[in-house]
Amino acid sequence: MHSDIKKYLSSFELGKAQHFENMGVFPLFSDINHSPKYLILKDAIAQQILSVNEIDEGGSVPELKVINKGEKLVLLLDGEELMGAKQNRVLNTSILIEGESETVIPVSCTEKGRWSYVSKEFSDSGTVITPSVRMKKAKSVAHSLENSSEFRADQGEVWNSIKSISREANVESETGAMRDVYEQKGGDLEDYLKKFSFVDGQKGLLTFIGGDVIGFDFVSQDSAFKDLHGKLVKSYAMEAFLGKNKKKVKPDKKKAKAFIEETFQCKEKKYESVGKGWDFRYEGKNIVGSALRYRSKVIHTAFFRADEGDREDKMSGFRSRRRYRTG
């Protein structure tokens, strides 16, 4: 593992455990003061600094165009969903968008049944896909990078995962939209959101479901994480709410530290990011992760627990896939 990233992960400090029903969280802290400063997606769009559009009038399912009209960097987080235009999409990886730039970014569709404009530009849906889907997506993106140097996900697997989530939630969506599940189950997630509150200085969270570590997210700025906290908690809470493991077990600090230490043993591969910096991919025994590094600083890192069945190579059809234009 790259020394900068290992140093960053080693600096993690676990806060006081938070617990509700079958979900537990350790707030994560670090005394490493990271720069540079950046905006997050929601704020950049709200300030009309950032615009996200289809790449052209016809559109391309796995790509979007991002225009940063400001001077500040903007962080787009892996798993964040964009809604609008011809169909809702989700970020395939974390990307640091350069100031005053135009960038084509890799995405996956989270709304299979629509391919028509509802707006010219995309907006922040306020949603991050569930950690299990992010884990599978990270796995397929890693395979794509290794075989074609592209940040492509297995679109069929993403659609199948959303279909399974919808079925488990007993939610019907005319367009197969993931966001419809979050909207219809919003009331059920409220108690989770109330119980898992942001703590001053917090930069990440390590989550348990039913007593087992699911994964963690960590960003370099506590101000950025404060704004991302709610949507990340909601993502993990959806997994807890729909999951079969309903054990009400408090999170275990030894297990949390062991999971972090397990990341050090992962195999590492390095790729040039779509935006600024470098994208690192990690895979170990039953663990998948990634990190975005820029100028010796780790901007975002996330690792997820992967079951044995999720580690199988399901990419034979994906490898032969070519670019496409319609949904």
Q: What is the pLDDT of residue 279?
A: 98
Is residue 213 in a domain? yes
pLDDT at 52 over 50: yes
Whether residue 327 lies inside any domain: the answer is no
Does residue 305 belong to any structural domain of this protein? Answer: yes
pTM for the structure as a whole: 0.92
| Torsion of the alpha carbons at 245, 246, 249 and 255, rounded to the nearest 10 | 20
123 is a domain residue = no
pLDDT at position 293: 96
Residue 316 has pLDDT above 50, yes or no: no
Residue 183 in domain = yes
Residue 227 phi/psi, 5-degree rounding, is -80, -25
Q: What is the pLDDT of residue 35?
A: 74
Residue range(s) defining the domain that contains residue 171: 3-37+130-312
Digit-coded pLDDT (tens) for 262-304: 999 999 999 999 999 999 999 999 999 999 999 999 999 999 9
Distance CA 92, CA 179 (A): 17
117 within some domain: no
Based on the structure, what is the number of domains in the chain?
1
Smallest CA-to-CA distance from 225 within 202, 207, 209 is with 202
pLDDT band, very low/low/confident/very high, at 309 (cuts 50, 70, 90):
low
Q: Quick one: pLDDT band at residue 312, thresholds 50, 70, 90? A: very low
Whether residue 54 is contained in a domain is answered as no
Q: What is the pLDDT of residue 311?
A: 44
CA dihedral 41, 226, 222, 110 (to 10 degrees): -40
Domain presence at residue 17: yes
